């Protein structure tokens, strides 16, 4: 068994978002001794983040040098930003790779938030296929079958490969549609809720596709925050950085 990891510094991306803000508010309560630095673009949001005891680095998802530098120095990078931003993801992984290959430090951890509907049958007829594929995150072969062509796969697959290559230890959370009131430092709305309601507002009536028998899943924001709390507890308790990115 390897030595227990010492984790003290976190680099946080997405602190002002709907999910990221809620998780950050919970994280600082549960782990007040951690040093957290957050990437924040809008100066009007600085004080609300600082009030949580979090340091600020000003920047956007496109500031690859800033992102790489902080991902390189932090023990853990938490990404709640755009789940489809390839450039953002490449900057994080580049920093974590340099940490190992150039600095000679133990590999860092990446807690990544993917997007909804990555594991979808792509049906557009509003039907339920009782014989359709049932995906299981406890089955390694299911996660290994994710490809870059799937929704969000262009970001998730390189993260898996980075773990395989040994320069990051990754944990990926792929939530369902998230609902519930905002609990982060900056009021925000569920992206799924905004996407869904735009069609209702445009047509001024409820909509359903075909038979309306298709299945889609949702999770309450508070329950999702509880999941992230469990994942982070697992990160802190790991004794050896040999966790598979494909298994729970």
In tens, the pLDDT along 71-125 reads 999 999 999 999 999 999 999 999 999 999 999 999 999 999 998 877 777 777 8
- Cα separation, 215 vs 127, whole angstroms: 8
Residue 89 lies inside a defined structural domain of this protein: yes
- The answer to the question of residue 207 being in a domain is no
CATH number at residue 146: 3.40.50.720
Structural domain for 50, as ranges: 9-123+137-188+218-237
What pTM was computed for the model?
0.91
Q: Is residue 44 part of a domain?
A: yes
> Averaged over 194-206, what is the pLDDT?
85
Total structural domains in the chain? 1
Mean per-residue pLDDT for 45-51? Answer: 98
Query: What pLDDT, in 10s, does the model give residues 211-231?
Result: 888 888 899 999 999 999 999
The pLDDT of residue 3 is above 70: no
Who has greater pLDDT, 247 or 42? 42
Which region among 52-61, 144-153, 225-234, 236-245 has the lowest average model confidence (pLDDT)?
236-245
Q: Which residue has the tokens 């729970």?
A: 248
Burial class from Cβ neighbours inside 10 Å (0-12, 13-18, 19+) for residue 193 reads middle
């Amino acid at each position: 068994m390897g030595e227990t990891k010492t984790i003290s510094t976190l680099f946080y991306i997405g602190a002002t978002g709907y999910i990221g803000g809620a998780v950050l508010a919970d994280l600082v309560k549960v782990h007040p001794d951690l040093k957290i630095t957050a990437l924040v673009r809008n100066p009007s949001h600085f004080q609300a983040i600082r009030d949580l005891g979090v340091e600020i680095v000003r920047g956007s998802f496109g500031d690859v040098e800033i992102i790489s530098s902080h991902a390189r120095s932090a023990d853990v990078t938490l990404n709640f930003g755009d789940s489809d931003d390839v450039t953002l993801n490449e900057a994080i992984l580049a920093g974590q790779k340099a940490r190992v290959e150039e600095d000679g430090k133990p590999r860092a951890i990446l807690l990544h938030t993917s997007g909804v509907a990555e594991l979808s049958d792509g049906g557009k007829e509003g039907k339920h296929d009782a014989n359709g594929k049932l995906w299981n995150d406890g089955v390694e072969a299911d996660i290994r079958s994710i490809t870059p062509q799937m929704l969000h796969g262009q970001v998730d697959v390189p993260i898996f490969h980075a773990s395989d290559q040994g320069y990051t230890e990754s944990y990926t959370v792929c939530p369902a549609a998230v609902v519930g009131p905002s609990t982060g430092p900056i009021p925000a709305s569920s992206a799924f809720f905004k996407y869904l309601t735009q069609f209702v507002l445009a047509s001024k009536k409820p909509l359903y596709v075909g038979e309306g028998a298709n299945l889609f899943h949702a999770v309450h924001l508070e329950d999702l925050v509880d999941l992230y709390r469990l994942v982070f507890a697992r990160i802190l308790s790991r004794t050896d950085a040999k966790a598979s990115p494909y298994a729970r």
